[in-house]
Chain A
């Protein structure tokens, strides 16, 4: 069995990949994916915790977190579509009518 700490370690790496991606990439879709990666890092932890503590809650958390992620992506894409329909861009830098 893999040590919990290894799984957590992987989670950390994933999380930071996601986080760094989130503020380095301009394309909103990619950022959305980065967010997914971060959420999955959390899921990994939940799974690891669940198996570590033999606690069923962790599994439930994971399942619900995945559902949340799905909802988030759905909403995100919808919002991006509406952004695209008005500003014809989904670049995070270019959509900056609102500032200061």
Chain B
């Protein structure tokens, strides 16, 4: 495949990596016993890539044969993928089932004692466990593990084509692959961790990699600033997350999932858990999740993070890392699940989750309306879709806390399913956008060597690419459909459930859920608009610049992952829906089982409940019809004369031109559009706050330290010097004064002695 068939032989080094899983199987290992290797193999690989890259930089073999380390990265990820597939096979198709304990006994990492005051005296607290590290698997982590390993592998594959062909990356790709693999370690570790602390540890590793990879083009001011912004913003959340951990540890005396989830209503030493305490702890954890998943109000970093190379955006900032927050919120389910030992009284927390999700979903979709940068559109789309999942989780937590566990499990399952669909689709969309950018950049490079102002990511420079990039356009179309929720494709199967259950929560349980419910419904239509807009601006209509006319799809390595993911996106959702993935992920069923096609379709389109039916159809109407049609009116159009798109997307291009064109320049110049362009001024606000509080305060502190605290010391010093000079002045040099002083001294002694003796 690709331009040169002999590229395949480059893959030879990954064979031993792939063989790890079969070999272990042959040795009689259980799949879960090998789970730790998912983390350890990349852990050993990434320093090797970095160091070897530093040493062999510029070496021809290193560059051409090993793709500057990319091959080794791919190998490590392949072995992780193979092991995770082995585990997935064991659990999904095989006989293993999940129970409430770590699948691998934790290794004691930190041991210590804690003392406490029992009202009369201090004593050792027995209930506090060591902090260990082990492996934990349940349906959701299994799903996430698969997503992570699968996408990491594919995107690494994609990177071999994307990164190594760009001259600007030359001699620094080892850095990319090293950090990429390190990121994979973080993601795999977070998914496998069996306690909150290690979850947090890997969470931070991901944060580091996100920082490093956003700042991959370290010399770009914007990339450096974006990297810092990403790290700091998530750091704010992380700090609260850490505080949450402290609180949890104090409540339960452990951070192990198995210990906490065994009975979340009783804390350390058998004490009943106070819902207020737990509320605070969960809230703190949630702030961490908000930061990581770029939700309002800590969302500002994600659009800027697009400064990183596109594979990074695809993997970290769309498909995997940003899901960590969702995963963390999902982990809170046992706390609120009053059906099984949960703690009642946490509805407020659930509402907060839902509201944050609703607000972010709407806001991000709105901002996506006006973005012209293809990656920024996708970034806001990511934010918006993640927010859906948060809303769903919020609704689920609410249901569970109120005892409606069927609805709760369902919506939580739907949320997690949406996570899966979104990850696959969004990973693919980013790769496709990368493909577009890559080729546009190439074409531009080919045409105008010197012009550096050209932005290859700006959709206003594209147009009509459907004919030039068939595979990419197909992939992008399916990805967009999945995100929009076009019936039967990918995201439809999960999004529908989220929206419906959110409405149900409003209708039956909690009036305050109205807000999120309306917001997510509106967002569904908006998603239809901006995703269609993006596709049309890129692929439909005549080319908008000479560069766009010269684009052609050619680079190897890029197409294969796109094709694989297109298939997964297009069919995976339906397939999994048939298998009852929602129930499985929600925890209601402990295995996947094939449902009838008719049943499934009926459940989706014609549920028995009238309310559900109404909500479902209005969602479909908004998302699949109104939004896309409006987008077509503005951006649709035929390709240039004489070129033809392939039939799979051709119909869409032609269809879009049918709706005529509408001039929106007035709207585009409105104040609202301006506000959206400025991202609703949040970035400006934060910058203003920092510039007017933290920075002056820091300068003041530095001044204070130098002039006040050290000033006191310096004052002592200068006073000593002036004191010294004046004391020396008493020694006038005149002998008479000396004698006088002696006489005075004598009299003083008399006085003193006399005073003492009297």
Binding site for B on A (CB under 8 A): 19, 22-26, 28, 31, 92-93, 95-100
B756 at the interface (CB under 8 A from A): no
Asked whether A100 lies within 8 Å of B735 as measured between CB atoms, the reply is: no
Q: Which of A24, A26, A96 meets B733, CB within 8 Å?
A: A96
B contact residues around A93 at 8 Å (CB): 734-736
9 closest A-B pairs (Cβ-Cβ)? A99-B733, A96-B733, A23-B740, A92-B735, A23-B739, A100-B728, A93-B734, A92-B736, A22-B739
Q: How far is the CB of A9 from chain B (nearest CB, A)?
A: 17
A contact residues around B732 at 8 Å (CB): 96, 99
Binding site for A on B (CB under 8 A): 728-729, 731-737, 739-740, 743
Q: How far is the CB of B731 from chain A (nearest CB, A)?
A: 6
A contact residues around B736 at 8 Å (CB): 23-26, 92-93
Asked whether A95 lies within 8 Å of B728 as measured between CB atoms, the reply is: no
In the complex, which residue of chain A has the Cβ closest to the Cβ of B738?
A: A23
B contact residues around A95 at 8 Å (CB): 733, 735
B contact residues around A96 at 8 Å (CB): 732-734
In the complex, which residue of chain B has the Cβ closest to the Cβ of A94?
A: B734
Q: Mind listing 10 A-B residue pairs with CB under 8 Å?
A: A19-B743, A23-B736, A23-B737, A23-B743, A24-B736, A31-B735, A92-B734, A93-B734, A96-B734, A99-B734
B contact residues around A22 at 8 Å (CB): 739, 743
Q: How far is the CA of A92 from the CA of B733 in the complex (A)?
A: 9
Q: How far is the CB of A70 from chain B (nearest CB, A)?
A: 21
Q: How far is the CA of A21 from the CA of B743 in the complex (A)?
A: 11
Q: How far is the CB of B266 from chain A (nearest CB, A)?
A: 81
Q: How far is the CA of A100 from the CA of B729 in the complex (A)?
A: 5
In the complex, which residue of chain A has the Cβ closest to the Cβ of B729?
A: A100
Q: How far is the CB of A35 from chain B (nearest CB, A)?
A: 10
Q: How far is the CA of A19 from the CA of B745 in the complex (A)?
A: 13
Q: How far is the CB of B204 from chain A (nearest CB, A)?
A: 64
Q: How far is the CA of A23 from the CA of B743 in the complex (A)?
A: 9
Q: How far is the CB of A75 from chain B (nearest CB, A)?
A: 16
In the complex, which residue of chain B has the Cβ closest to the Cβ of A95?
A: B735
Q: How far is the CB of B56 from chain A (nearest CB, A)?
A: 71
Q: How far is the CB of B60 from chain A (nearest CB, A)?
A: 78
Q: How far is the CB of B417 from chain A (nearest CB, A)?
A: 90
Q: How far is the CA of A23 from the CA of B739 in the complex (A)?
A: 6
Q: How far is the CA of A25 from the CA of B734 in the complex (A)?
A: 12
Q: How far is the CA of A92 from the CA of B731 in the complex (A)?
A: 14
Asked whether A99 lies within 8 Å of B731 as measured between CB atoms, the reply is: yes
Q: How far is the CB of A86 from chain B (nearest CB, A)?
A: 15
A contact residues around B733 at 8 Å (CB): 95-100
Q: How far is the CA of A13 from the CA of B737 in the complex (A)?
A: 22
Q: How far is the CA of A22 from the CA of B746 in the complex (A)?
A: 14
B contact residues around A23 at 8 Å (CB): 736-737, 739-740, 743
Q: How far is the CA of A22 from the CA of B738 in the complex (A)?
A: 10
Given contacts A23-B739, A23-B740, contact A100 B734 (CB under 8 A): no
B contact residues around A28 at 8 Å (CB): 735
Q: How far is the CB of B748 from chain A (nearest CB, A)?
A: 14
In the complex, which residue of chain A has the Cβ closest to the Cβ of B728?
A: A100
A contact residues around B739 at 8 Å (CB): 22-23, 31
Q: How far is the CA of A99 from the CA of B731 in the complex (A)?
A: 6
Q: How far is the CB of A54 from chain B (nearest CB, A)?
A: 29
Q: How far is the CA of A100 from the CA of B726 in the complex (A)?
A: 9
Q: How far is the CA of A92 from the CA of B728 in the complex (A)?
A: 19
Q: How far is the CA of A23 from the CA of B736 in the complex (A)?
A: 5
Q: How far is the CB of B256 from chain A (nearest CB, A)?
A: 76
In the complex, which residue of chain B has the Cβ closest to the Cβ of A21?
A: B739
B contact residues around A24 at 8 Å (CB): 736
Q: How far is the CA of A63 from the CA of B734 in the complex (A)?
A: 33
Q: How far is the CA of A31 from the CA of B736 in the complex (A)?
A: 9
Q: How far is the CA of A100 from the CA of B730 in the complex (A)?
A: 7
A contact residues around B728 at 8 Å (CB): 100
Most chain B CB inside 10 Å of its own CB: which residue of A25, A95, A96: A96
Q: How far is the CA of A93 from the CA of B734 in the complex (A)?
A: 5
Q: How far is the CA of A25 from the CA of B735 in the complex (A)?
A: 10
B contact residues around A19 at 8 Å (CB): 743
Most chain B CB inside 10 Å of its own CB: which residue of A23, A96, A98: A23
A contact residues around B731 at 8 Å (CB): 99-100
Q: How far is the CA of A23 from the CA of B746 in the complex (A)?
A: 13
